[in-house]
Structure 1
Amino acid sequence: MTQPLPQPSVDVLDAVELRLVEAPPPQLSPEHQTARDRAWNKAVQAKPSLFDGPVVACTRLDQSEPHELALHWTRVTYRNYALRWVPGAAALPSLFVDVLQPTDDGALLAARMSSATAAPGRWQLPGGSVEPPDDGAPLDAAALRHNAARELLEEIGIDTPPDDLTLWAVTRGTNGNIGVHFMAPPQPAPVLNDRFTAVVSAAAAVGQTPELDQIALVHSPADLKSLHGPHVDYLEPIVDRYARILL
């Protein structure tokens, strides 16, 4: 008999306060640098849309107080993640933000990555990787909140003021990736569908492929089974926690 595969382990951490501390960039040996660049170039040849732009990676996550997290971060570029394919090397985990967008009746919006992305067909919450701030600008909880609000507007078409987003949880995924999850005010389901359709139509009108190509409204982890395609490791634990809080 075939045994089911074990479910990925994801830590879901309560966070009322989030403190971010910049750390020095990682130091790589010349051998690992060469292997990283070779792996990155190979990935770009397979998917030319990959872009080696600036991005934030995590160096450490501490929880000294029950509801206070200290997140240490550093500046890298996307090719840092090619180290995952280099034997003996370790890529620093990524930092991303996303938004739990509920409906008036308690459903939660999930979205599918389009064919133009690095993870086509993958279901997740609307959001994305965090980019480092300009020189002199802070990377703090307020900056992450603005980042999340921008992702929600760009991907779903919902223009929510950053101050209306509430820090809801922090997750640490199977690769150590850190997700900062914000809760948005509820929206009527028809509004979400109409705004998302407008985003997709606007992209098509200028010959572009949107970041997301489909949305779905789920009430519990059981609903995720009806979604065609894989989903990020944090999605089921987040949906489960959300559903339990509503009970």
Structure 2
Amino acid sequence: MFEISDNGIGMSEEYQRMLFEPFSRERQEGTDRTQGTGLGMAITHNILTRMGGTISVKSELGKGSTFIIAVPLQIADDPEERLIDENGKDSEEINDEIFKGMRVMVVEDNELNAEIICEILSIQGAEVTLAGDGNVALETFKTSEPGSFDLILMDIQMPVMNGYESARAIRAISHYEFMPVKRRDEAASIPIIAMTANAFSEDVQNALASGMNAHVAKPLNMEVLKKTVSRVMNQNQNQE
């Protein structure tokens, strides 16, 4: 269990009840404007919940706040011990800094989902560009300078053009003889990962058949996403 305290401006009892809701922010007298996106505590709460933990707050206006975090952790006997999966095999190593400096296009039509994933990736050090549907993603890719993106995270269920159609259209650019060679090469090789609530084996196969490299299920698990991106990037490097 951890306790983190400050002696800041504190929070009202009313606001504490909605603190962990996305986009919640409190405006208080004496402040010029309400800062931040209102997503930090919602993301923190989501991460801790996934870890089997909890977070709560005690706060009083003008006296500061105390956050209480309880999370189950296991101390490894051997610092060099590797993670073992359920089958008893060594799990894939995770590059915790995989997104640092990476240029990522996030294709997502849901405003809340887009805000959360973009915020998380930005915190991880990525340069993020948001496309609101598959057609916007296609046009953004076609009109950008070659090398503008290292990765595309593609939602599936979107208006105008869905993720499967967008991935196929991007891959098809590799066959356009009127396109510059660098653009055609990039269209063929840029990693595209599906991110969708559709997580059945048929959905995974549909993603691969459309030209995507991999599939991750929503809600996103950052450990799984990092592992998937690391694997796809390594495969691309081995094919070069």
Determine which structure has greater relative contact order: mean sequence separation of CA pairs < 8 Å that are 6+ residues apart, divided by chain length.
Answer: 1
TM over 0.5: no
| TM, length-normalised to structure 2 | 0.25
* Structure with greater strand share of residues: 1
| TM, length-normalised to structure 1 | 0.24
